[in-house]
Structure 1
């Protein structure tokens, strides 16, 4: 099997915890804060990033949410983090507990082997 020559996307699992300021807002105020403060900053600073948001407060007290980011490359990811740090998201609305960053199946590309996955149908 040939080794993949293109750079894989960068995936970041951003483990975050809500702050009292965020929780004091109404749901509409929260959505407004994201759409007017956070999203425009991201769009103005970088391209090639996508995200998904997971609620975890039902199962964890240390991490209330996980924001999964996929960036086309490390530069796009770096620009994303720089953009987020310039918004109230970072350390005002949320505390960033940890960032887990990697590339999917990196070992397979390194060794030129088939990725081990589990798919059930």
Structure 2
């Protein structure tokens, strides 16, 4: 997806576990599925979202991957879920373990305070 300029109002973490049907595909086939089936389904919804994909299978037996989504509003994220559910991503290639949606620094915003966060060196 091309980068979109917007302030993310929510971030969603979709925790998934790969299925045998995904693992039976070659790596080349997997990337082809993402390019030709998954991404076009999301783009067809016409929503401006950002996503990143994290591999976790070498640290977790329950969750193999985490797909992080940033959306400008709840409707945009809902459209992502609708798009994914209409593809083989949902329950064929991946078992959706959990969907966690949060608002960055909501605790500080709610109390009119600056966020407390750590900074790397």
Matched, 1:27 2:30: no
Name segments (4+ residues, structure 1) moved above 2 Å. none
Tell me what 2:108 maps to: 108
Alpha-carbon distance, 1:109 to partner: 1.2
Normalised by the length of structure 1, the TM-score is 0.91
8 Å contact kept, 1:46–1:80: no
Tell me what 2:46 maps to: 46
Tell me what 2:56 maps to: 56
Q: Greater Rg, structure 1 or structure 2? A: 1
Q: Distance in 2 between matches of 1:70 and 1:82?
A: 16
Normalised by the length of structure 2, the TM-score is 0.91
Number of positions where the alignment pairs a residue of Structure 1 with one of Structure 2:
115
The two structures, once aligned, show a CA RMSD in angstroms of 1.1
Runs of 5+ in structure 1 lacking a partner? 1-6
Q: Distance in 2 between matches of 1:105 and 1:81?
A: 24
Q: Distance in 1 between matches of 2:92 and 2:114?
A: 43
